[in-house]
Chains A and B, each alone.
Chain A
Amino acid sequence: MAMQKPELLPEDVCPCLRTKTMLLNTEYRRSAFEDAFTADTAFFHCLKTMAYHGPDGDDVCPDGCRPGRACYPQPDEVT
């Protein structure tokens, strides 16, 4: 079954990226989430490894989990 991409994630961020702020129904949801990109206390994990590194072994982070990375899902893997 194809992976579901959360609405909140910016278009080119990997759909496997997860962080706490995505779960909080704060009134500024999108901007709060984007602030988490640079927050010094934000943790990011990968839905495939359920760890702080991706299947390629490198860190999970909003800047790094972008198209071009070896483990970035193919379009047909995502709905």
Chain B
Amino acid sequence: MPTVTMTDEARLTGLLRRVTGDEKHGPSAHSTLDVLWVLYDRVLDVAPERVDDPERDRFLLSKGHGPAAYYAVLAAQGFIPEQWLDGMGDAHSPLGHHPDRLLVPGVEIGSGSLGHGLGLGVGVALGLRAQGITRPRTYVLLGDAELDEGSNHEAVAFAGATRLAGLTAIVVDNQSATHGWPGGIASRFTVNGWTAETVDGRDRDTIERALRGHTGERPHAVVAVTERKGN
């Protein structure tokens, strides 16, 4: 249930350029942008004044590199001041090239080294369930190349085997994994007992529908396919 109002496209683009200082590339240079926007604008039940609310949805950015789109969305949604977007990575900036949960309100985990978010997400989903906090979901965003890290497969196998239904993994697939994923990424999840859907990572309505497509009985994966990295 969105708790924030729509912000127009131009504003988001402006915020993104403010982070990157890049006038040449448009929003399409950021593979995670549409997924992040749909999450924060339409799906996640979280708001700037509720970053410590036990009943909030959890969004864990596992793919912590290239966080410009994440910061732009957080600013657009009011989690961080727009001024923070200037000078990312500077000595006094709370925004680094990998996000730090101790520095940025609304950021659930510090990430950067690949393959840590899904394991943490398993723990968060288990912890909420153990405390009877059953409404919130735990969303973890990964990249297709990040799936190279074996730690992800520990989490995928365990969450599927134990039907950890409160967990959603979103894999932004910009085809950057060196050896690819023959047979598709979604099959890695479904063979382990997850539900999974593969969608156009630029089609916001489709992304939203897929994110809402969890059954409540199994963990859910959404593979959001975008342009190949570098194109």
Q: Do A and B come from one complex?
A: no
